[in-house]
Structures are given as structure tokens and as C-alpha cells.
Structure 1
Amino acid sequence: MITIKSQREIEAMDRAGDFLASIHIGLRDMIKPGMDMWEVEEYVRKRCKEENVLPLQIGVDGHLMDYPYATCCGLNDEVAHAFPRHYLLKEGDLLKVDMVLSEPLDKSVLDVSKLDFNNIELMKKYTVDYTGGLADSCWAYAVGQVSQEVTDLMNVTKECLYVGIQQAQVGNRIGDIGAAIQEYAEKRGYGVVRDLVGHGVGPTMHEEPMVPHFGRAGRGLRLKEGMVLTIEPMINTGTWEIDTDLKTGWAHKTLDGGLSCQYEHQFVITKDGPRILTSQGEEGSY
């Protein structure tokens, strides 16, 4: 079911988005060659406990196992949903960090600092049924000096994000978003992942409608004021096809071993155009 969000719900998601954006801003100075990737997960957990925020990805149902971490950390050819882990980042790596977080909560209702984030069954009691303000955003980070190939991929992927957001206007259709992204990427020789898509947000992290990053203009659901969506194009240097880790059912990689990049914003559609709820205060703060 697709729901039009109330002003109260939008304000709660805006608060969550501000906090999540502050996490991405904090990661800018942390991510560098020689850093252990696991420090990203530790940083997010620490900030959540300090500011009483639920890391909502912990406990998400999977085909083979529930997701156990606060973040997804995709490296180079990893497209999405890869686990954070102990790995020393190398000069030239491309790291994507994705997360879904609640708004800061009232400590008298729930004290997040007292939760054991490693106890997945315990966390599911709080994360799976959470229906308050939440935000979802992925950002890509260049580790040290990267190749021109990585730089170009990051630039095109970010442009795809904003090209898609520009189409999220009252009266347009879902297909207008995907068609604009697909045309922009494919004209530049890149593949657009088909198997993973954007989506509605609220009251839970994955709601209707699904928002593909490919498609035909003028097709699909008509967009309305008050919808809250994510656009999260995953753009590959080679084929759009991906493979999935059969041991966990989570991590996706490019089928041909090429690089993959992703940027994601969450936004609300208004009569004046899309307004980004996870803006970092810079480009595209519509």
C-alpha cells in the first residue's frame, strides 16, 4: 500500500535524515588508506548509542540469515548489502556506505545505549516493528588518490542520482525517474543495475512503490505530493548484471568484476518539487 505522509511524519523523517547526513559528513575525514573498514561500523554504532538512535538494518530478514550490522560497506566491485569487516582500505579503493537509521528517540521510552547491537534477536524486537521517523542514504567515498576510472564512475553515479530526483515532480510517473537515469548512464557507457531498486519509505524502511533506475518515460505510477521515496542508482563500469553471495544471501557483486558505485537520497515530493531529507547541506539540496 502506498501512503501519503503527514507533516508530522515528514518532520520525523527529516530529523532522522539530518542525523544520518551528519554520519556521512563525519566519515569524510575518517576514510583514508590504512583505515580498517570495520571502524566505519564502529563509528556508526557509537554515534547511535550517543544520540539514542536505532540502527534499523540490524535484524532485517534475509533468505539465509538476518542482517547483522548497522551498515552496508561495499568495496569496489561490491554493488550493495556487503558486510562491514576487517579490511585495511587501500589507496585507490572505492567504498560505498549505506545505512538506515531512526530519528533520535526519547530516552525515557528506549535507552539505545543499553542495547546489545550484537544480539540480533534482541535488536529485532526494536528494529523490525519500528514505525517512527527513519532515513535511508548511501554515499560513496574515494580512498586516497583514485584512478580516473573511479573518479568518472563516481561523478556519473552522483549525476544519475540528481537527474532522477529532478524527475520526482507531482504529476510525473515512476518511469520518468528510471528512464532519465538509464539514459544518462548508458549514453556514457555504464550499466544500470536492474535487480535492486529505490522504494517508498515510512512507516517501515521498504514500502511501495518500488522505484527502478531504468524504464520508460510516461509509464508507471503517477507521483503525488506527500510521497517519500529513495532513489539509489547502482551504476557499473561494465554489465548491469550482478551476482549474490550464496553463503549469506546478502552481498551482491558485479557479474563481470567491474567497479560499481552508488549514491542514495531520501526525499519528499512537494508541490514545489522534491525536497531531500538526507541532504548533507551541499549539492542538490532541493
Structure 2
Amino acid sequence: MVLDRNEKCWCGSGVKYKKCHLEFDEKLESFRRKGHLVPQRDIIKNSEDIEGIKKSARINDGVLDLVASKIKAGMSTDDIDKLVYNYTVEQGGIPAPLNFEGFPKSVCTSINNEVCHGIPDESIILKDGDIVNVDVSTILNGYYSDASRMFMIGEVNEQAKKLVTVARECMIKGIEAIKPWGFLGDIGAACAEHAHKHGYNIVRALGGHGIGRQFHEDPFVPHIGEKGTGMLLVPGMVLTVEPMVNEGTYDVFVDEVNEWTIYTADDKLSAQWEHTVLITETGVEILAK
């Protein structure tokens, strides 16, 4: 849709196009003419969207802070689910995973060789030496946020500690690689380079995603890639960076019984951290962590 300079901007800001996204669109078009893949308008967030995501993220961060203060050996993953559900609804939010495409719980709890989408259960008890990813997603007033943290239960061996540490570093490297008017492949290149340097592999079948009015929006965010390739990254995009780092092969498989939980193919450990980030005119802002 071509707008007149004096029409209201397509982003919904209420501001005239010439004072809002005209220059932005002209720059975007210059990249398009050079053959680059550019984002569609529907994934560019305006100030109202960004504020909505930030409010959702404050609840999401609060959930993870609460889990961090309570998690310990002897508690079940269902106990974690109850903490997440109760806190979220008390704050006026909705746990995004609950009933999402049939997922039965409010949070994902993935232990040791579980890469992601572990389903909380009262029979699954955390024990000394476990590493566990707690992945929390929140809806508030129609806006989504998403983040996960790794927790080390009791005395964890050095091998597992290193994996957890490097996985977080991979996420940070990926976020640091994001530049306005850079490229999606820059994120994956940075994550994978750091993982490979330490002898680990990045899961390829799964990745991050855009987020905002929907749980999963474009673009898909791979955590292995080549610099200078992929979709153009522009101010106003909100996405997750969440590399899944495996001790062994990057191959994974899905639980045949629950059809959700994803495991490492070689039964070795996996670790993951996730932040939701906003691309700004000058860099990135972490919204959920």
C-alpha cells in the first residue's frame, strides 16, 4: 500500500506518514532493490505494541524470579507449574503455553537430555545434579513475552556447569550480534561460532521467533547461520534469541508418547537460555530475560 506523505502512518501511531515511517520505508526499499529479504509491515511494532510487550515481560520476569527463589531438589516439576500459573494469574496475565496447540501445562520444564517442551508432572522430581530449563511465556492484554533460564540443582558436575555457562554465552553473543539494518544470519553465526569453539553443537531443527500480538510470529530465528544473510533486521522488530546447545550431536527427536518433549538424539545434555529483545535505532533492548 502506497501512502501519501500527509496520511496517517501505516504503523498505527496516528502520526503523519512523512514524520513516522516514510524515511524508514525508503531505506527498506533500497535494501529490497539490492535483493535482500525485508520484513513485512505486520511484524514491525509501534510504541503502543512495545509498551504492551514490556508490561507482559514484567510479569514474565517476575515468574522466573519467583522460580529462581523456590527451585530446589525434591520438588516436582508440577510444583514449578503451580508457581507459574498462580503468580501469572494473580498479576492479571495468562500463561501462554497452557492449552497452546494442546500443551497441557503453564510452563515447559526440560531436564538434562530434554532439549525443550518438557511437560511438568508431579512424578518428575528434581534431584541433586540436575540441570533444568524453565521456559516461561506470558500473555497480558493480548501481548506476549517469552524467556527461559537454566537452573542447576544442588551439586552439579563441572561438565554440566560448563554447558550451562556456554549456552548463556551463546545467547549473549547472538544478542550482541544484532544491529539495526543488519541481518538475521548474524545472530546464528555468532551463536554457533561460540558453541563450536567449546566443542558443542547448536540444535538446527528449532529456533527463536518473532513475538508480539502472537506467540510465534515471523521471522524464524535460526541459531546457526552465515553473517550478512537472511532477513533484514530493522528497528521495531521484536524477537527471541534462544540457542539450544547440545553436549553432543545437534540431532534431536520428539517423545512418541506425549508428542511434545524433545530430546537429544544421543542422550547427552542440552542447555538453553532465552531473552525477548527489541531492535531499536541504536541496537537492542532486552524486554524479557
With the shorter chain as reference, the TM-score category is: 0.7 to 0.9
Select 1:37's aligned residue among 60, 74, 77.
Answer: 77
- Of 23, 27, 31, the residue aligned with 2:63 is 23
Structure 1 residue aligned with 2:260:
250
| Matching residue of 1:193 | 203
Q: Higher RCO, 1 or 2 (CA under 8 Å, sep at least 6)?
A: 1
Q: Could you give the per-residue CA deviations for residues 17-58 of structure 1, whole angstroms, max 9, x where no partner exists?
A: 111111111111211111122110000111122112111112
Counterpart-to-counterpart distance in 2, 1:48 and 1:157? 27
Corresponding residue SS for 2:284: strand
Whole-angstrom distance in 1 between the partners of 2:109 and 2:76: 12
Match 2:186 to one of 168, 171, 176 = 176
Aligned partners of 2:208, 2:129: CA distance in 1, in Å? 28
- The Cα of 1:133 is off from its aligned counterpart by 1.7
2:115 corresponds to which of 71, 79, 82: 79
Specify which of 101, 122, 132 is matched with residue 138 of structure 2.
Answer: 101
Alpha-carbon distance in 2 for matches of 1:176, 1:37: 35
Q: Which residue of 2 aligns with 1:110?
A: none
Partner deviation per Cα, 1:207-254 (whole Å, 9 max, x = no partner): 001110001111111110000000100001111110111222210000
Do structure 1's residue 4 and structure 2's residue 40 form an aligned pair?
Answer: no
| SS of residue paired to 1:151 | helix
- Provide Cα deviations, 1:240-281, integer angstroms capped at 9, x if missing partner: 1101112222100000000000100001000121100014xx
1:164 matched to 2:174: yes
Match of 1:120 in 2: none
Contact 2:63 2:136 in 1 (8 A): no
Q: Which residue is 1:109 aligned to?
A: none
Q: What's 1:215 paired with?
A: 225
Q: Once the two structures are superposed, what CA deviation does each residue of 1:158-185 show, in whole Å capped at 9, x if it has no partner?
A: 0001100011111110001001100110
In 2, the alpha carbon distance for the partners of 1:228 and 1:201 equals 6
Corresponding residue number in structure 1 for 2:53:
13
Return the match for 1:89 from 109, 126, 134.
126
Aligned to 2:154: 144
What is the TM-score with the length of structure 2 in the denominator? 0.84
* Percent of aligned pairs with the same amino acid: 35
Distance 2:272 2:80 in 1: 17
What is the alpha-carbon root mean square deviation over aligned residues?
1.1
Query: What CA distance in whole angstroms lies between the structure 1 residues aligned with 2:244 and 2:115?
Result: 7
Return the alpha-carbon distance in structure 2 between the equivalents of residues 229 and 46 of structure 1: 26
Q: Secondary structure at the match of 2:182?
A: coil
Cα distance in structure 1, aligned partners of 2:62 and 2:129:
24
Q: Secondary structure at the match of 2:150?
A: strand
Q: Which residue of 1 aligns with 2:98?
A: 58
Look up the match of 1:126: none
Matches of 1:21 and 1:190, distance apart in 2: 28
> Which protein has the larger Cα radius of gyration, Structure 1 or Structure 2?
2
Q: 2-side partners of 1:245 and 1:274: how far apart? A: 36
Runs of 4+ in 1 over 4 A off after TM superposition: none
Q: Which runs of 5+ in 1 are unaligned?
A: 106-131, 280-286
Could you tell me which amino acid in structure 2 is paired with residue 68 of structure 1? Answer: P
Equivalent AA in structure 2 for residue 268 of structure 1: L
Rounded to whole Å, the distance in 2 between the matches of 1:191 and 1:51 is 38
SS at match of 1:277: strand
The 8 Å contact of residues 77 and 121 in structure 2, kept in 1 or not, is answered as yes
Q: Which amino acid aligns with 1:102?
A: I
Q: Is there any run of 5+ residues in structure 2 with no aligned partner, and where?
A: 1-39
Q: TM-score, normalised to structure 1's length?
A: 0.85
8 Å Cα contact 2:114-2:264 kept in structure 1? yes
